[in-house]
Structure formats: structure tokens, C-alpha cells
Structure 1
Amino acid sequence: MTLDSRGYVSIAELVVYVPAFVLAIIICVRHGIRQTSGWIYTLILCLVRIVGSVCQLVTYSNPSVGLIQAYLVFDSVGLSPLLFATLGLLSRLVDWINTERGPILQATHFRLVQLIITVGLILGIVGGVQQGSSQSTTGTSPQPSSVSQAAIILYIVAFAALVGILLLSFGYLSYVPSKEQSISAGVAIALPLILVRLVYSALSTFTHSKTFSILGGNVGVFVGMAVVEEFLVIIIYLGLGFIVPKLQKGQQGEVGNGQWRQRRERPIKFTSLRGANLA
């Protein structure tokens, strides 16, 4: 089995994501699964990238249609955990603002963004399977389908919503504890990186340039616009997982328990987005 440059990239991903996966588990245990505020999705992304890299490496000795489809699917769904993780972190930030100041956003807004990302994820999986099937049928580089294009459009919409939530929260950071404010800084750094990653996916999906082809594209462009960005976002979010304190039981969200209906009697407890099952 002779590896090409893409194969060495997969090895590099394993070197990064295997220890990151372990750290993500530690963080999820530290904060509690129901209060992970997005870190569960960093764990999922690490797992997705590990399995995807293994599938890509195995294709060198067994280039079966199933393995190619699996690699394409895992590549296409990588954006959704990044967006989910960002949404979860922002929900924790806004939750503090809602509790201390009063509502600036409701859980319904976050559920809507969550729905958009989820539909994009489903379409991305379907599109990845279709690409793998077309590659096996024609024997040429897989061509993105309209389903994959629809997934990218939804991801772009979700990304715009995340930017809007972050910008809105900037005006109320004085209501957020100092250690929790690091979330806004971390997300502000991560969003441009996610944007570059999103642009790469859009170019690989909407253009027919071989440079951005998923299987045979330029490796330097792939590393510079996709791999490195994901590495950095994971590092940032894992760092936040160790910086922000664990929430105490009394700080747990209330939306999921239906207590948001008590907002007139207890306005300071109006809503808490962590109960919206985003974490």
C-alpha cells in the first residue's frame, strides 16, 4: 500500500483527533452530558474525523464503493458538529444573559437554528451517498448533487444565524460572569475559521474545479481551507471546556422543565436555553 499526500493528511488527522477525542470525553464528564453546552459535538466531530480518516486509509488497499461512500459521507457531515458545538456554546452564553438581565433570545430561536443544521446534516449524508454512487458508476471524480448543494445552503443560513446571535450577545456581556465571557471570545475567533471551512465546502459543491474536488483535489488547498480550520476550532472549544466552570445544579436550564411559563412571577428566571437539549 503506497500512500499519497491525501493519505498522509489522514494520518495527521488521526494524530490530532485521537487525543482530542479523549480530551472531549474528559470535558463531557467534567461538565455532565446534559450540561456539556456544545462539547458533546466536539466529541462527535473527533469521532467522525477518526472514522473518516480510517476509511480513507483503508481505500488504498481496498478501494470499494462502500468505503468511498463512507469517506464522502463523513467528509460531508463534518460541518454540522462544528455548527452544533458553536450553537451550544452560544446557548450557554445567552442563557446567562437571559437569567441576569431578561430575555434577549428564546429557546425557540435556538431550536430553529438546530433544525436547520439537522436538515443540512441529513441532506449532507444523502448527498455523500449519491456522490459515492456516481463515482462508482462513471469511474470519474464524484460530482456534487443538488442535495449536497441544498445542505451547504442550509449550513450558510445557520452560520449567519450564529453570527447574529454572537453579535447580539456582545452588547450584554456585562451580565455574564468573567470566566463565562471567554466563550464569546472563543466563538468570535472560531467563526472566521468555520467560515473558511464553509467556503471550501461551498466551492467543492457548487464549482466543477478539480482544485476543490473531494477525492482528487489540491491537497494544499484542502489542508489550508479545511483541515487546519477544524483543528483550530477543536483546540479552541476544548480549551473553553477546561476554562469555564462546571455549572452547579441550581444553574441548570429550566426551559425543558416547562418553568419558562413562570416568567411573570419570576422574571429573573425567564428562560434558560441549556434546557433546550442543545448541549
Structure 2
Amino acid sequence: MNLDSRGYVSIVELVVYVPAFVLAIIICVRHGIRQTSGWIYTLLLCLVRIVGSICQLVAYSNPSTGLIQAYLIFDSVGLSPLLFATLGLLSRLVDWVNTERGPILQAVHFRLVQLLITIGLILGIVGGVQRGSSQSTTDTTPQPSSVSQAAIILYIVAFAALVGILLLSFGYLSYVPSKERSISAGVAIALPLILVRLVYSAVSTFTHSKTFSILGGDVGVFVGMAVVEEFLVVIIYIGLGFVVPKLQKGQQGEVGSGQWRQRRERPIKFTSIRGANRA
């Protein structure tokens, strides 16, 4: 098996994401599956990248349209866990503000953003299947798919909504306990990284540029605009998982408890702990 530079990138991804996957499991167990505040999506991103890297490496010794299709699908869905994880963390932040100050955003607002990301995820999978089906094992520049382009547009709209939620929450951080404020700082650092990753996907999807080709594009551009950004966001979110305290029963509000994900679930009262946990 003769590896090229892309193959070595896949090996590095395995070296990074396998330990990150283990740490993400620890965080999900620590906070509880129902109160992971987005860390479950960090876990899923690690899993997606691990499987995608394995497909890439196997394709060197056994090139096939099926493996190429699988790699394109896993690459196309990578943005959705990043956006979902960010949305989950912001929901936790907004819950504190809603409880201490009064509602600034409702669960329905988060549900709408979730819907955009979910539809983008579905379209991304369909687009990856289409691009993979029309891809030969020798052609390194997949043709852009209109379905994939629609997915990117939805991701861009969802990203803009996440930025808006973060900016809105900045004005109410005084209502958030000191240990929880690290979420706003972490997300503020992560969003520009996600933006760069989103730009890379948009250019590779909307243009025929060989430089931004998913399969045979410039490796330096791929690493600098996609791989590194995802590494850093995963590190930031895993770090937040160990920094912020586990919420006790009754401390999670409508937004963070998943009411925007499961409408039939009974509301959970978010107990105010203004005096105890405020800096």
C-alpha cells in the first residue's frame, strides 16, 4: 500500500480522533446522556472521522467506487456534528440566562436551527451518494452536486443563527455562573474555526477548483482549512466538557433539556441557584 500525502493525513486523523473519541465517551458519561449539552455530537464527529479515515486508507489497497462513495458521504456530514455540538452548548448557556433573567430565546428558536442542520445533514448524505455514484476511481475531482450545494446553504444559514445566539447571550453573561461562562468563550473561539471549515466545504462544493477537490485537492489547503479546524474545535469542546460542572437534577431548563428536540417530553424545572454558583 503506497500512501500519498492524503493517506498520511488520514493516519494523523486516526491518531487524534481515537483518543478524542474515548475522552468524548468519558464526558458523555460524566454529564449523562440526557444532559450532554452537545458533547454527544462531538463524540459522533470523532466516530465519523475515524470511519472516514479508515475508508480512505483501505481505498489505497482496494480502490472501489463504494469506498470513494463512503468517504465522500462521511466528509459531507462532518459539518453537521460541529454545528449540533455548538447548538447544544449554546442551549445550556441560554438556559441559565432564561432562568435568572427571563426568556431571551425560546425552545422553538433552537428547534428551527436544529431543523436546518438536520435537513442539511440529510441533503449532504444524498449529495455524497450522488457524487460517489458518478465518481470513478481515477477521477480525483468529483462534480458538484446541487443537493450538496443546498446542504451547504442550509449550513451557512444555521451558522449565522449560531453566531446570532452567541452575540445575544454576550449581553447577559452576568446572569450566568462563572464556571459556565467558559462556554461562551469556547464557542466564540470555535465559531471562526467552523467558519473556515464551512468556507472550505462551500468552495469545494460550488466550484470545479482542483485545489479544493475533496479527493485530489491541495493537501495543504485541506489541512489548513478543514482538518486543523476540526481538530481544534474538538479539543475546545472536549476541554469544556471537563471544565463545566455536571448539572444536577432540576438544574436544566427547557432549551438545554432537549425540549426543542423532543416535544413530548415533560418539562423539567430549572432551579435557580443565583446565589450559590454566581461569581
C-alpha distance in structure 2 between counterparts of 1:7 and 1:45, whole Å: 19
Q: Secondary structure at the match of 1:159?
A: helix
* 8 Å Cα contact 2:253-2:270 kept in structure 1: no
C-alpha distance 158-275 of structure 1, shift in aligned 2 (>3 A): farther
Aligned to 2:65: 65
Aligned to 1:42: 42
TM-score normalized by the length of structure 1: 0.91
C-alpha distance in structure 2 between counterparts of 1:67 and 1:274, whole Å: 53
Query: Which deviates more from structure 2 when the two are superposed, residues 262-271 or residues 74-83?
Result: 262-271
C-alpha distance in structure 2 between counterparts of 1:26 and 1:153, whole Å: 34
* 8 Å Cα contact 1:91-1:278 kept in structure 2: no
Residue identity (%): 92
C-alpha distance in structure 2 between counterparts of 1:196 and 1:150, whole Å: 18
Alpha-carbon offset, residue 253 of structure 1? 2.9
C-alpha distance in structure 2 between counterparts of 1:74 and 1:277, whole Å: 41
* 8 Å Cα contact 1:252-1:275 kept in structure 2: no
Alpha-carbon offset, residue 261 of structure 1? 17
C-alpha distance 269-221 of structure 1, shift in aligned 2 (>3 A): same
Aligned to 1:165: 165
Deviations 1:74-98 (A, max 9, x none): 0000000000000000000000000
C-alpha distance 277-11 of structure 1, shift in aligned 2 (>3 A): farther
Alpha-carbon offset, residue 144 of structure 1? 1.5
Deviations 1:88-140 (A, max 9, x none): 00000000000111000000000000000000000000001111111139956
Query: Tell me, which stretches of 5 or more residues in structure 1 are unaligned?
Result: none
Alpha-carbon offset, residue 142 of structure 1? 1.2
Aligned length: 279
Deviations 1:223-245 (A, max 9, x none): 00000000000000000000000
* 8 Å Cα contact 2:252-2:270 kept in structure 1: no
Deviations 1:172-208 (A, max 9, x none): 0000000000000000000000000000000000111
Q: Give the structure with the larger helix fraction.
A: 1
* 8 Å Cα contact 2:24-2:39 kept in structure 1: yes
C-alpha RMSD over aligned residues: 5.1
Deviations 1:46-66 (A, max 9, x none): 000000000000000111111
Q: Secondary structure at the match of 2:60?
A: coil
C-alpha distance in structure 1 between counterparts of 2:97 and 2:125, whole Å: 36
User: Runs in 1 of length 4+ with deviation above 2 angstroms?
Assistant: 136-141, 252-279
C-alpha distance in structure 2 between counterparts of 1:261 and 1:130, whole Å: 29
C-alpha distance 85-265 of structure 1, shift in aligned 2 (>3 A): closer
C-alpha distance 278-129 of structure 1, shift in aligned 2 (>3 A): farther
* 8 Å Cα contact 2:5-2:219 kept in structure 1: yes
Aligned to 2:118: 118
Deviations 1:10-67 (A, max 9, x none): 0000000000000000000000000000000000000000000000000001111111
